[in-house]
Amino acid sequence: MKKIYLAAALLLLLTETYAQNPVPAARHKYIVIAHRGDHTIYPENSLKGYAATIKDGADYIEIDLRTTSDGKLVSMHDASINRMTESKGLIKDFTLQQLEELKVRVKSKPDTATYRIPTFEQILKLCRNKIYIYIDFKEADAAATLALLKQYHMERQVLIYINKASQITDWRKTDPAMPLMLSTPDSVKDAAGMKKFIDTWHPDVLDGNYDTYNSQMLELAATLKIPVWPDAQGPQEGPLVWDKAIALGLKGVQTDNPPALIKYLKSKGLR
C-alpha cells in the first residue's frame, strides 16, 4: 500500500499545471496518420496518394513542407529531388515552375501515369474539411504557411511537426494557438525524463518511435492531456506492431499502410 501511495505522490509531482494547445477534434477513437499519404499504390507525397488517404478514411495526411527558390511551398520528404524524379538538385534551388515540369516516380513501382510535386495550395484545396494535415515542417516560413492556411480557413485543421528549436520560437510568435508536435529524444526513457522534456519545450503532441514509450510515460501524457501519436511505420510494420502499440495504450500511430491499419482497427472494434 505504501508503494501505491508513493507512486501516486510521484505522479502528482510530475503533473504540475501544464496547458497546451488542443489538436483538431478527433473523428475516430483511434487516430491514423498516413505517412506521406497513402503510397501503397501511388508515389509518396503525391496528390493521388493524398486523395487515396481521404478515401481510406485516415485522420491525418502527413506532408513534408519545403520552399522553392521563389518562395513557394511544396511537399517533398527529401531536400533533394534525386530520389523521386529523374533530375538532380535541391528543392530550394528550383523555382516552382521548374519543379512543376518534373515527373514524380517510384523506381520500384513502374507506372505510366504522370505525377507532379504538389504545392501546399493544391494540398489545402484537396484536404479542406475532409482530412486533417500533419505538417512536417522541413524548411519553410511560419508566417507564409499560416497565411495560406488562413486563406483556405484551415489554420485549425492542422498540426505542425517541429524539426528544430528555432521553429518552436517562430510558431509560438506567429500563431500561439497552433498545436506543435515534437519527438522525444533517445535520452528520454521514463516519465520523469519525459516531464523534464515537456517542461522545457511545451509540446502539444508527442511523436517518436512507438516502442520508446512505456505505460508510465503514457499515463503522464494522459494526465497532462497531451496526445501521443508515434511512428509505427517501417519494414516490420503490420499486425504484430499494431498489437504492441494498442497493448501499450497508444491511441494513435503514424503508418505506411493506412488502408490495412484501418481495416485491422475495425476488426478490433477500434474504428
Q: What CA–CA distance (Å, rounded) separates 81 from 98?
A: 12
* Per-residue pLDDT at 179: 99
How do residues 145-160 score in pLDDT, each as one tens digit?
Answer: 999 999 999 999 999 9
At the topology level, CATH places domain 31-78+119-268 in: TIM Barrel (3.20.20)
* Per-residue pLDDT at 5: 37
Lowest-pLDDT range of 3-17, 127-141, 179-193: 3-17
How do residues 106-165 score in pLDDT, each as one tens digit?
Answer: 867 777 789 999 999 999 999 999 999 999 999 999 999 999 999 999 999 999 999 999
Domain boundaries defined on the chain: 31-78+119-268
Q: What CA–CA distance (Å, rounded) separates 65 from 145?
A: 9
3-state secondary structure labels for all residues of 208-228: CEHHHCCHHHHHHHHHCCCCE
Query: DSSP strand E in the chain: where?
Result: 31-35, 60-67, 73-75, 132-137, 158-161, 180-183, 205-207, 252-255
pLDDT above 70 covers a percentage of the chain that reads 93
CA distances from 224 to 20, 73, 203 (A): 9, 34, 11
* Per-residue pLDDT at 105: 87
How do residues 51-73 score in pLDDT, each as one tens digit?
Answer: 999 999 999 999 999 999 999 99
* Per-residue pLDDT at 107: 67
pTM (2 decimals)? 0.92
* Per-residue pLDDT at 106: 81
pLDDT interval class at 19 (50, 70, 90): low
How do residues 200-256 score in pLDDT, each as one tens digit?
Answer: 999 999 999 999 999 999 999 999 999 999 999 999 999 999 999 999 999 999 999
pLDDT interval class at 4 (50, 70, 90): very low
**Does residue 269 have a pLDDT over 70?**
yes
Q: Which residues contact 266 (CB under 8 A, 6 or more apart)?
A: none
To the nearest 10 degrees (0 to 180), the angle between helices 191-201 and 215-223 is 40
Distance between first and last Cα of the chain: 38
